[in-house]
Structure formats: C-alpha cells, structure tokens
Amino acid sequence: MKNDFKLSDLPKRNIYEVPDKYFDRLPAQIMERTAGAGYSPAPWSAAAWKPLRMALAPLVLLLVVGVVYFTQLRDQSKEQAIHLATVADDDIMDYLSTYAVLETGDFAELSVTSEQEMTADFLNVSATAAEEELEYYQIETTDF
C-alpha cells in the first residue's frame, strides 16, 4: 500500500443520480397508492376478542389449578387410608391412650381388646375411684 494516500486526491463527483422530476411526482404517486388501497375498519368481533381474551385467561388458569388441586387431594386421601390400614391395632391403641381423650365407645370397632383392657388402659381410673363416682351419681335409681 501506498503511505501517501490522501482524501484530497480523490475526484469529487456525485455518484448518485436522481431521475428527472422524481421529487415532483413522488407525492402524487404516494397518494395514488394509499387512496386505492382503501381503509376498512376491523370487524366488531376483533374488537371484542381482546377484552374477552384478557378475561378468559385467569379463568382458565383458575380452572387448571383447581383440577390439579382436587386431583392431588383425592390421591393423597387414598394414600393415607392405605397407610393407616397397615398400622397394627396395638400401635393405634398405644397412640390413642397417650395423646387422646377418648371414651370406651370410641373403641367399639376394635376387636383386639376386651372391655377390661379398655377400662384399665384408656380411662385411667382406679377401681376405688370408679366406685366413689358411681356412689355419687346413684345410678341404680336413675331410669335410662
């Protein structure tokens, strides 16, 4: 390359040429093209679709969330029933005697224990305390 290249040495001429009267005819050409196309307003369905779409989106989302939630809830309750069936009756009775306040009628469905075990284990009442309580209410004179 030459090191003594200068911009001033380049010839100065316009390489772009505009056709004759181009800018005089340009506005008329633009007006012809736009007037010929014509303007047609959008149909009423297109104008109503955008607000309808905005209203339907949250409803569809809520419906999907509800279906998923209730499906999971139903599956979870089935799983809990299956897991509870695998627990032994003795373990259930030990848990209830420790953490629950129950009456003997609550255990009517359990066939493992007899009435004596339930009185001793779940009511936690001594024989003397039970007799004192029976004497206080005088059950023999009460009609059921």
Whether residue 50 is found in the same domain as residue 75: yes
**Domain containing 48: what range?**
44-86
Give the C-alpha separation, 100 to 108, whole Å: 16
Mean pLDDT along residues 112-131 = 63
Residue 124: band (very low, low, confident or very high) from pLDDT cuts 50, 70, 90:
low
Q: Tell which wins on pLDDT, 75 or 27.
A: 27
Ramachandran class of 98: left when φ > 0, alpha when ψ lies in -120 to 50, beta otherwise: alpha
| Residue 41 DSSP code | P
Whether residue 92 is found in the same domain as residue 142: yes
Mean pLDDT along residues 23-34 = 89
Residue 44 has pLDDT above 90, yes or no: no
Whether residue 82 is found in the same domain as residue 94: no
> pLDDT tens, 50-87?
888 888 999 999 999 999 998 888 777 666 666 767 77
Residue 89 has pLDDT above 90, yes or no: no
Q: Which of 50-54, 92-96, 133-137 has the highest mean pLDDT?
A: 50-54
Angle at 7 between CA 6 and CA 10, to 5 degrees: 105
The CB density around residue 95, as the number of other CB atoms within 10 Å, is: 11
Residue 25 has pLDDT above 90, yes or no: yes
Which pLDDT does position 104 carry in this prediction?
66
Whether residue 91 is found in the same domain as residue 130: yes
Q: Structurally, how many domains does the chain consist of?
A: 2
What is the token pair recorded at 114?
A: 């007899």
pTM of the predicted protein model: 0.28
